[in-house]
Each structure stands twice: as structure tokens, then as C-alpha cells.
């Protein structure tokens, strides 16, 4: 079965760092882009950026450039989204998804809820 499995929910304090993960299985992980999408509570979907596991080529939305880092460890079929200093406004659900041929996101992870509160 083709799937993406994300790491569990996180509760952090402002200023702390965080790295969440997205592990692919059931397909050739290195040959499909992996994207990250934010969904704030009660709001819509926001595209954050995308990475190609084969060569780590990464593109960011201008809205998120410099705010997060997207990386990958292809040896363990895992993509990451990380923050160096969290803010309360980073509280949201974060999804990873696979982008396939027609440039659509066909497989999604289950989401990782991040809560940042003092």
C-alpha cells in the first residue's frame, strides 16, 4: 500500500525548536516530490514548499521562506519540516503529500498537529 505516515502531535513552547517527519512506503520514495501544507484551525490549505528526495532540490513559498526548513533523508524514506524558533502563530495542522505526474497531490499523510503555547 502506498502511504505517507507522519509523526505524532507536538506541544511546544514559543522559542523552542521542532522537527516533524513524513515517511513514505509502498513506492519509490526518491522519484516523487513531497510537499508540505499548513492548515490553521478552521482555515484553508496553504502550500509551504516542496522537496525532491532524489536530489534534495527544494522550493519554498515566499510566505514560508526563512521561517521553516524542509529536508529529506532518502536512506530512510523520510521528509522533514522543521522550525528553529516556534511562535504561537505556528500552531496548526501540517500535512505532507506526494506530488505525482499530473502535478497533483495524490497521497496525503494523516497530518501532524503542532500546538505552540506558553
Which residues are near another protein by CB under 8 A? Answer: 35, 37, 44-47, 50, 59-63, 95, 97, 99, 102-106, 108-111
CB of 16 to another protein, least distance (A): 26
64 and 49 in contact (C-beta within 8 Å)?
yes
The residue (of 79 and 97) whose beta carbon lies closer to another protein is 97
Q: Specify the residue, 62 or 75, whose C-beta has the smaller distance to another protein.
A: 62
β pairing state of 112-116 and 10-12 = parallel
113 CB contacts (<8 Å, ≥6 apart)? Answer: 9, 10, 92, 93, 94
Dist CA 89 CA 101 (whole Å): 33
Least separation in angstroms between CB 14 and another protein: 26
C-alpha cell at 30: 526518491
Which residue lies nearer to another protein by CB, 110 or 117?
110
Q: Are 88 and 14 in contact (CB under 8 A)?
A: yes
- Closer to another protein by CB, 19 or 43: give it: 43
Minimum gap (Å) between residue 82 Cβ and another protein:
19
Amino acid at each position: 500500500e502506498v502511504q505517507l505516515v507522519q509523526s505524532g502531535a507536538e506541544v511546544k513552547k514559543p522559542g523552542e525548536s521542532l522537527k516533524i517527519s513524513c515517511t513514505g512506503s509502498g513506492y519509490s520514495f526518491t522519484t516523487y516530490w513531497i510537499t508540505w501544507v499548513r492548515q490553521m484551525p478552521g482555515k484553508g490549505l496553504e502550500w509551504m514548499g516542496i522537496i525532491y528526495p532524489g536530489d534534495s532540490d527544494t522550493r519554498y513559498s515566499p510566505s514560508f521562506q526563512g521561517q521553516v526548513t524542509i529536508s529529506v533523508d532518502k536512506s530512510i524514506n523520510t521528509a522533514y519540516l522543521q522550525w528553529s524558533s516556534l511562535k504561537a502563530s505556528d500552531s496548526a495542522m501540517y500535512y505532507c503529500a506526494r506530488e505525482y505526474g499530473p502535478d497533483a497531490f495524490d497521497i496525503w499523510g494523516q497530518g501532524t498537529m503542532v500546538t505552540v503555547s506558553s
